[in-house]
Structure 1
């Protein structure tokens, strides 16, 4: 759902007035061996399709995704860049993709010197082209050999024509033959405008996930002194991800500061938000990576004399050796890096109410902070208006409504940890938890707090057949004293199926803005294809039987459930034709 919305916004319906969006990386790039970038992936064909291919399938069928980039990894021994089973039979024949497949940088050459499925650049070019990879990037390297391969009769000229036709068709759709150059003036007129910055602030604030809150938030006007400490409090570089322009300049050892769009740090955002009667003191404390703790004493002193301490931690996103997050920045520990754990512990030990704000692009395991901090806010990578956006949440100008798009583990030993474990997964069937930890995540998928409370009632589920849509409705009320937004999440469980199915699977969600005391009814229409799965014969089917629908505020905070017994035949579908769940609010 999120990927589809991203493609719609970036690509638009008319390529002639927009850009081509490239979905990456196809396929299963997020589950490599040992958590290492480029490492092999071990996953079966059912999981590959139902879990890893589905976001691509949705973007293709619902948003017209026009380009796909291969994964560096091999899947079950097949390097994605050279596997027709992945780039043609799965991507095109099963999922219905008809755009251009582009190589991740140097991926064709990797068939020779990394995967060793090719003995030469020439052989790598043949493998990739036959697999369905249309365009080599970033430069013509292995594909220089294609003319010689065709001349020698080792590659069909029709394959070259096929890829050339795809690339040329997309250039025509983009209007590049009529308008080969970008209009720099038009681009400048829509760059970093006041409207864009306002939207960036709104998006960043809505993306903040409030994970714990003992009541310290929102901060009131009575705070006379606020200590803002930590390495991510006043560094604009840390507000962006590893592929923004300055990060690329760093790879080439070029100065990046001059190329920054103006950014608002959290320290600046807080100073702008408070009144003249509130003093804001700042101490960096430590670096995101350096273990040197000598600056922590200044941060502790600032916190001890304050009414509230805001500790800003996280990472540095990029591709150079000093970065902690980003491509190939693999780690064996999911805790905070450097001296940051000591900084947090010592500030909390002062007894000053401590709010921990995480600014970074990595999932972290933060069990001590979750228990001992007065509040924990995950702000991710909030961008140029990040400081203002986070301040809006901290001071209650914005009631937080972000929900976790992933589960946060208690320990790296739980990884991979997610909400949709298949039946029998997530915990030991005979012994339950780990010997040293609960088996549940520290924070589950879909979790997020706000400054008000919501109540659910009047859950209704209506459906009779595998061939007809299922109607689900639930009433949601704002039971608190503040206006707020609730994300109503709809999950389903197949009680008995021909293969092990997830204990719960998200099939829809809706966003409702409610005033205090206001009630709204959310209606979901779930098409039978949305409930389909691959059976033992690898047919994509919806089976008759009992389904339990659950609504709630997260995958673990279920507020109501109801079951129906679907009759009818086993209905066969195509993954390329799944009908998305429709939601409306009355």
Structure 2
């Protein structure tokens, strides 16, 4: 049952969260967030304080089912919230927006059973696009669907990013998602890196601008009851991966800076701090042979580095918000039958409790994807972690909850969800952005398509094309062919998330090239490529009559672009290399560094 609203003799309404019948300062909506947070901190037990330092994964089950464990461990929601006093959760898939709203309200009722009724902060990875990777990004579901951040940058219009931010804020708040584990403001400097689709570009100025706009749109001028608190990631910049490999996995643990370009990767984080980002997330990676201002940086994961977190981020860059680690730095897991080792890069030899100690000594405030409250309690009991240090992090975390208004009302209006989430204006705006982000790289007189053009399609759902063109089933009856393909990758499945994290060579398989070539021998081909990362399009350059790139566009949005119904205005936010040998010879820390790219940064044609 929800705590009823109490009223003082002088008419102040408040939630009596600790049930003592008194308006305590932390319950008083008239008092500023910092004062309320300090008051509550002084009332909390050690166990309640420790619970604030964790932000873990929560499975969305049936509303009110608080006793069924999720897929990643034996703990139930009740175990987390009432047993360990954890009240920050990262949410994965959920059946519908309405379901999420009902479930979150039931979870907030559960939170009221804890001694001081601390409300839950529900967080989300990006979920407004097309990509689906259960550890990093979610496809749109009930929400309006937009191009991925690379696509927003391709449009080149800051107002579109601001419109997207306002849409995402409205839809998130409607279902109770009050923290965004984004924007991702890494520079897409290595063409092979699997995460670049959720970044804005390889250009530091563009990434800084659009990252700041997203933060401002989600948070507002200051955090409030209508805000979504942002976590900018992945500090100090995640694009310079050795061999382009991803640091979720052991082979991708290292970043390298052969071009001496570390500071350029910092630029978007300087902008994010200036924009007031609520939190910053360090990346998994460790830096090889990195020297900053004469200091050799320890070769440990970035969240473990006291120099990077305390000296650089806190002292030099002046960030005083929450430092949230990336997920699962301490504990090895097995998920769905596959191993998923802890991302304890450079400190693999340390025990779990030593890893936790080192993370807090480095300056981290919250441990992502972990629930090892027992280890923090042991550190406190042994004196290896002081209560003063614990309080510093707990206070930062608490203050954000107060600023978001969660202590005054953490519940959402279940009747309003259907009106807001996925509303027609939001869907229309997202569709237009998808079409506008389409980037025309080559056009030998076949675009724009006319309504009477007879088109043979592969990789396109003909039922959604409507009357934009005439779809035919046989190539012999067609004027042109439209083929949609996706940037290539090397199939892997050694670790959990491995299969969904597309890595390796950017070369298309020979059979894919041969398939397009065979069709091109019969009629002109329009080749559309989904660039979830860069791709080597060189084999298609002399085959296709037109080549377009998309960064998340439905079949209907693509046809609107190709017909000019919604004129495409995309320009490449990354470069497309000419060959893999050019990629391998380039510096991963230097954006747009491959020799003689097939399509350089900024390439794109107009259809008008």
The Cα offsets for residues 67-98 of structure 1, whole Å up to 9 and x where unpaired, read as: 12221111231311211211222222222322
State the 1:337 CA deviation.
Answer: 5.0
| More strand as a share of residues | 1
Whether 1:69 and 2:281 are equivalent positions in the alignment is: yes
Whether 1:273 and 2:468 are equivalent positions in the alignment is: yes
State the distance in 2 between where 1:205 and 1:112 align: 38
The Cα offsets for residues 234-258 of structure 1, whole Å up to 9 and x where unpaired, read as: 3xxxxxxxxxxxxxxxxxxxxxxxx
1:185–1:118 distance in 2 versus 1, CA, 3 Å: farther
State the distance in 1 between where 2:533 and 2:558 align: 18
Q: Which residue is 1:135 aligned to? A: 366
Whether 1:391 and 2:559 are equivalent positions in the alignment is: yes
Aligned counterparts, 1:294-309, within 5 A: 302-309=474-481
Aligned counterparts, 1:115-194, within 5 A: 115-116=346-347, 119-141=350-372, 143-194=373-424
State the 1:221 CA deviation.
Answer: 3.2
1:119–1:45 distance in 2 versus 1, CA, 3 Å: farther
Query: Between Structure 1 and Structure 2, how many residues are aligned?
Result: 373
The Cα offsets for residues 468-525 of structure 1, whole Å up to 9 and x where unpaired, read as: xxxxxxxxxxxxxxxxxxxxxxxxxxxxxxxxxxxxxxxxxxxxxxxxxxxxxxxxxx
CA contact (8 A) 2:451 2:468 kept: no
C-alpha RMSD of matched pairs (Å): 3.1
CA contact (8 A) 1:82 1:111 kept: no
Q: Which residue is 1:504 aligned to? A: none
The Cα offsets for residues 117-142 of structure 1, whole Å up to 9 and x where unpaired, read as: 5521111111111112111122312x
Q: Which residue is 2:273 aligned to? A: 60
TM-score normalized with structure 2 length = 0.56
> What SS does the corresponding residue of 2:445 show, helix, strand or coil?
coil
1:73–1:318 distance in 2 versus 1, CA, 3 Å: same
CA contact (8 A) 2:257 2:589 kept: no
Of residues 534, 548, 568, the one that matches 1:363 is 534
> What SS does the corresponding residue of 1:102 show, helix, strand or coil?
strand
Whether 1:228 and 2:457 are equivalent positions in the alignment is: yes
State the distance in 2 between where 1:189 and 1:67 align: 30
State the distance in 2 between where 1:405 and 1:412 align: 19
Structure 1 gaps, min length 5: 235-266, 283-301, 428-438, 453-586
State the distance in 2 between where 1:342 and 1:380 align: 24
State the distance in 2 between where 1:327 and 1:96 align: 39
Q: Which residue is 1:345 aligned to? A: 517
State the distance in 1 between where 2:494 and 2:526 align: 27
Q: Which residue is 1:18 aligned to? A: 227
Q: Which residue is 1:9 aligned to? A: 217
State the distance in 2 between where 1:421 and 1:139 align: 34
The Cα offsets for residues 342-362 of structure 1, whole Å up to 9 and x where unpaired, read as: 221111121x11100112412
The Cα offsets for residues 429-469 of structure 1, whole Å up to 9 and x where unpaired, read as: xxxxxxxxxx21111111111024xxxxxxxxxxxxxxxxx
Q: Which residue is 2:92 aligned to? A: none
State the 1:158 CA deviation.
Answer: 1.9
Q: Which residue is 1:407 aligned to? A: 575
State the 1:7 CA deviation.
Answer: 2.1
State the 1:45 CA deviation.
Answer: 11
CA contact (8 A) 1:4 1:59 kept: yes
> What SS does the corresponding residue of 1:415 show, helix, strand or coil?
helix
Of structures 1 and 2, the one with the larger relative CO (CA 8 A, separation 6+) is 2
Whether 1:372 and 2:372 are equivalent positions in the alignment is: no
1:443–1:59 distance in 2 versus 1, CA, 3 Å: same
1:59–1:206 distance in 2 versus 1, CA, 3 Å: farther
State the 1:303 CA deviation.
Answer: 2.8
Structure 2 gaps, min length 5: 1-208, 248-252, 289-298, 332-340
CA contact (8 A) 1:112 1:124 kept: no
The Cα offsets for residues 270-305 of structure 1, whole Å up to 9 and x where unpaired, read as: 33423xxx3x135xxxxxxxxxxxxxxxxxxx3343
1:365–1:399 distance in 2 versus 1, CA, 3 Å: same
Q: Which residue is 1:29 aligned to? A: 238
State the distance in 2 between where 1:178 and 1:157 align: 28
Aligned counterparts, 1:94-109, within 5 A: 94-109=316-331
State the 1:161 CA deviation.
Answer: 1.1
Whether 1:451 and 2:607 are equivalent positions in the alignment is: yes
State the 1:182 CA deviation.
Answer: 3.4
